Amino acid sequence: MAWKTLDDMDFAGKRALVRVDINVPVEDGVVTDTTRIERIIPTVDDIQEKGGKVILMAHFGRPKGQVVPEMSLEHIAPAVADVLGLPVTWVNSDYGDAVAKMEGDEVLLLENLRFNPGEEKNDAGFAKRLASLGDIYVNDAFSAAHRAHASTEAIARLLPACAGRLMAEELSALDKALGTPKRPVVAVVGGAKVSTKLDLLGNLVGKVDHLVIGGGMANTFLAAQGINVGKSLCEHDLAETAREILGKAKAAGCEIILPRDIVVARAFKAGADSETLAPDACPADAMILDAGPATVDYISGVLDNAETLVWNGPLGAFEIAPFDAATNAAAAKAAALSTAGKLISVAGGGDTVAALNQAGAADDFTYISTAGGAFLEWMEGKELPGVAALSR
């Protein structure tokens, strides 16, 4: 899929309506992490350098079409001004008036789009009202692209549209990982449950050369092969589905890599006694909480011969040591290969990003997506409406 970028547009004397994700964490009225705001700087600066004016559109929280004062972007505006180093004016009504009065490098920040019921309904009227404020539409919010909303989908059909820098960077990283990847491609999928990642597994077995299944969901696959997993987290009702995925992988020539050894404990708490056993040796009163060193060795060997890695979901219950060991070791291996220029590594998912940060490996990955739901839908092979609307 191809999309226009800022380089394809002429911003001189134009007003750009820029959809951004500045849904930052706030505690007691104070923004505690400005990462999301920092990531829009290249797009804002670039549009201004090209002679355009910037009008930011964003959502905050889930107000569900109603005005919820605590979710007003008025509270975020000072942090945006601070991070951008530009005058930022928040506007909650009379948008047209504020736009007409924009001066110099002033940036407008429209009130939380989700206060308007038209936003999440992808309402044509609301999109038209937004579109009337600018000349060019720029989408820099990949994390909102899996939703067809007025500011992500309908508006893109009303104005010349392009991807912002962050969106373009994310799309090209994702394309390198699964769209047109260098082979062999390895996918690591872990996490708690198979049920939340069925579509993802189904899509990946048809696309990658090796699929590592780890975390709690590996237990479901072990159990589906007749192995006793004791008190482990396991979705026994998905045994048939797990066997179908194994069959589909076999037909597609995708190697499925399940734990070759397991780390078990009687309690999921810090300092709990744990032992490393063969995959079929889980005691009836124990839980599998991580993969063991033989599994990590095998994964490392596969990564040594791979060109591309895409990763979602930790290999174990990484929140509590020592059950973070397999995740940390595999992450360190992927990070080292990436730094050496031998592997393209892309990872995403809420807990995955936390786990890779905890492992100290995140900075060395080729690309880390912080997009959560949009990243998962992309891994499932779904078309993202906000991205489709940008394609030329």
Least distance to Mg ion from the beta carbon of 238, Å? 18
Distances (CA, A) of 280 to 168, 214, 263, 276, 312: 46, 15, 12, 11, 25
Least distance to ligand ADP from the beta carbon of 58, Å? 23
36 noted as active-site residue: yes
Least distance to ligand ADP from the beta carbon of 334, Å? 15
Does 279 sit near ligand ADP (CB under 6 A)?
A: no
Chosen from ligand ADP, Mg ion, none, partner binding at 259 (C-beta under 5 to 8 Å by type): none
Q: Judged by CB, which is closer to ligand ADP: 109, or 371?
A: 371
Does 312 sit near ligand ADP (CB under 6 A)?
A: yes
Residue closest to 349 by CA, chosen among 234, 196, 239: 196
Angle at 178 between CA 174 and CA 180, to 5 degrees: 100
Q: What pairing do the DSSP bridges indicate for beta strands 274-277 and 287-291?
A: unpaired
Q: What pairing do the DSSP bridges indicate for beta strands 30-31 and 26-27?
A: antiparallel
Q: Judged by CB, which is closer to Mg ion: 119, or 290?
A: 290
Sign of CA dihedral 14, 37, 71, 377: positive
292 noted as active-site residue: no
Footprint on residues 179-238 left by ligand ADP (CB under 6 A): 190-192, 196, 215-216, 233
* 287 beta partners: 265
Least distance to Mg ion from the beta carbon of 347, Å? 13
Among 22, 154, 204, 317, binds ligand ADP (CB under 6 A): 317
**Binding range to ligand ADP, per CB under 6 A, among 29-37, 146-154, 160-168, 309-317:** 309-317
Does 316 sit near ligand ADP (CB under 6 A)?
A: yes
Specify the amino acid at residue 360: G
Q: Under the rule (CB under 5 A), what is the footprint of Mg ion?
A: 350-351
Does 118 sit near ligand ADP (CB under 6 A)?
A: no
Q: Judged by CB, which is closer to ligand ADP: 136, or 263?
A: 263
Least distance to Mg ion from the beta carbon of 351, Å? 4
Q: For residues 288 and 258, give the distance between their C-alpha atoms in angstroms, rounded to a whole number.
A: 13
Which of these is catalytic: 65, 202, 230, 350?
Answer: 350
Which of these is catalytic: 15, 19, 36, 165?
Answer: 36
> Between 285 and 304, how does the x/- string for binding to ligand ADP read (CB under 6 A)?
---xx---------------
> Between 349 and 378, how does the x/- string for binding to ligand ADP read (CB under 6 A)?
xxxx--------------------------
Does 314 sit near ligand ADP (CB under 6 A)?
A: yes
Chosen from Mg ion, ligand ADP, none, partner binding at 312 (C-beta under 5 to 8 Å by type): ligand ADP
Q: Judged by CB, which is closer to Mg ion: 351, or 380?
A: 351
165 noted as active-site residue: no
Q: Judged by CB, which is closer to ligand ADP: 76, or 288?
A: 288
- Residues near ligand ADP (CB under 6 A), total: 20
Q: Judged by CB, which is closer to ligand ADP: 107, or 289?
A: 289
Q: Tokens 């220029």 sit at which residue?
A: 341
Least distance to ligand ADP from the beta carbon of 377, Å? 12
Least distance to ligand ADP from the beta carbon of 215, Å? 3
Q: Judged by CB, which is closer to ligand ADP: 54, or 229?
A: 229
Residues that bind ligand ADP in the complex, under the rule CB under 6 A = 190-192, 196, 215-216, 233, 288-289, 312-314, 316-319, 349-352
| Residues involved in catalysis | 36, 193, 350, 373
